[in-house]
Amino acid sequence: MAASLRSPPPVPAAFRRSRAVVRASSQSSSSSSSAVSSSSSAPKARFVARRSESVSVQQLARPLAEYMSLPASQYSVLDAERIERVDDSTFRCYVYRFRFFALEVCPVLLVRVDEEPNGCCIRLLSCKLEGSPLVEAQNDKFSASMVNRVFCSSTLQGSTLQQLTSDTTIEVTIDIPFPFRAIPVTAIESSGRQVLEQLLGVMLPRFLNQLVKDYQAWASGDSSRKPLGTEAVQVLVASLADDSLVARDAALAALCDIAPLNPMLVLDCCATVSRGGRRRFGNMAGVFLVMASAVRALDNSDAEREFLRKIAKIATAEIVSSKVPDTVNLSPCVFELNARQ
């Protein structure tokens, strides 16, 4: 009886440590499985958008079908600031920023271009989101797929006109972030689908226009075709202040050709040059003419309206500044900038 009331024999230290490890491991495993369960049980939203755009192209000396059969490495259709060539068939694309609810998002896409009969197929390999910490935290909580088939076809037998078509489907699935879980999933999916449709509505027409311009340059035998990046456009904008009238006119003509294809790039460069203090008459008059040309090419997406607010503020400051002579009435350009916001 006395023996039974005695304290239990001491447990060896090594055994105590081993039990502690087992308990810790068990707790860690439990918390890990709970986290996985929590992640897998997070509500999801799925956005799907599809758009097909076509444009009629006049056949030139070299046929469009021959151009469309070129390897991807020989296309030159987007500005270098938005596209990085990884290899001959793989590209990294920086999509323009857009707003989704209160968040600003910039997708960075890795795509592969595969040759197909009469065209090519652009497939999304990966997508990374850049923006606020909340936006970037979603990078491991979403999946995306995109297929863009670009092809040409004859409209009529024997016709010199051909149809160039871009048919794109995008699908995105995300874990809904906690702050947005009070919003009905259908409302989030509707908003997400509208954002994707707006992006396609802005990008596909521009993409086709750039493709047509590049085809025309290629068909005319221009072997020096290459995309223009920020630095090259800034040099052209700065040339609007050149002492030579010929140089100014050449720069203005080049920028007015580029502006409809890459309006946001051109507007950004104009704003940068304006802020840089180059405020001579020849420069500023030309800058506003180019800005007006770029603004007319913009669509009314949320991203572009946000961008225009910044540009219009700079333009308005230039107009009221004494640095711009009274003999030049640039206010219609500023009015157009403000009207498009």
Q: Return the ∠ at Cα 108 (arms to 102 and 109), rounded to 5°.
A: 130
Predicted pLDDT at 102: 67
Please indicate, yes or no, if residue 259 is contained in any of the structural domains: yes
**Alpha-carbon distance 111 to 90, whole Å?**
6
Please indicate, yes or no, if residue 14 is contained in any of the structural domains: no
Q: What is the dihedral of CA 202, 203, 204, 206, to 10 degrees?
A: 90
Chain mean pLDDT for the chain: 71
Same domain flag for 214 and 68:
yes
Same domain flag for 189 and 276:
no
Pure H helices in 179-262: 185-219, 230-238, 245-258
Same domain flag for 189 and 295:
no
Domain boundary among 220, 253, 279: 220
**Helices H, strands E: what count in the chain?**
11, 8
CATH (domain of 212): 3.30.530.20
User: For the chain, how many residues are written?
Assistant: 341
3-state class (DSSP) for residue 44: strand
Same domain flag for 206 and 264:
no
**Percent over 70 (pLDDT), the chain:** 58
Same domain flag for 174 and 279:
no
Is the pLDDT at 301 greater than 70? The verdict is no
Same domain flag for 302 and 236:
yes
Please indicate, yes or no, if residue 160 is contained in any of the structural domains: yes
Please indicate, yes or no, if residue 19 is contained in any of the structural domains: no
Same domain flag for 193 and 103:
yes
pTM over 0.75: no
Residue carrying structure tokens 């929590």? 38
Is the pLDDT at 278 greater than 60? The verdict is no
* Owning domain of residue 80: 44-220
**Alpha-carbon distance 196 to 191, whole Å?**
9
Side chain identity at 114, as an amino acid letter? D
Is the pLDDT at 281 greater than 50? The verdict is no
